[in-house]
């Protein structure tokens, strides 16, 4: 599914680096998921849910840096308000998180 967008459209997507600071089971989710808090530096802390339980244990996610879209409108998922979207590669049930190779400052813009 290839949908062309303009470069101006792409520039509207705000992708930042953040560090996962809290992970909890999301018991009300339809599919196994976590509720996650991510520190984006000067942008503050944002919450999200992620169906990444197949490859990642909660304790392994703490202090892991991830890429996330931070300028989507908040989305209600069951009893939880998601404020950003962690980026990953999905292969069936497996989702591999996109991460910087080296540690970078939280809130850094991905261009």
Q: How far apart are CA 64 and CA 49, in angstroms?
A: 15
Q: How far apart are CA 65 and CA 103, in angstroms?
A: 7
For the segment 64-80, the average pLDDT, to the nearest whole number, is 94
pLDDT for 59 equals: 96
Coil, helix or strand at residue 15: strand
Domain made up of 13-97: CATH architecture: Beta Barrel (2.40)
For the segment 6-31, the average pLDDT, to the nearest whole number, is 94
pLDDT for 40 beyond 90: yes
pTM of the model: 0.92
């Amino acid at each position: 599914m290839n949908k062309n967008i303009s470069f101006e459209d792409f520039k509207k997507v705000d992708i930042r680096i953040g560090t996962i600071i809290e992970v909890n089971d999301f018991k009300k989710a339809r599919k196994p998921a976590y509720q996650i808090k991510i520190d984006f530096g000067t942008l503050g802390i944002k919450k999200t849910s992620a169906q990444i339980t197949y490859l990642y244990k909660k304790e392994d996610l703490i202090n892991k840096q991830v890429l996330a879209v931070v300028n989507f409108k908040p989305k209600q998922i069951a009893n939880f308000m998601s404020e950003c979207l962690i980026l990953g590669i999905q292969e069936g049930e497996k989702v591999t998180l996109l991460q910087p190779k080296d540690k970078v400052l939280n809130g850094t813009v991905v261009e």
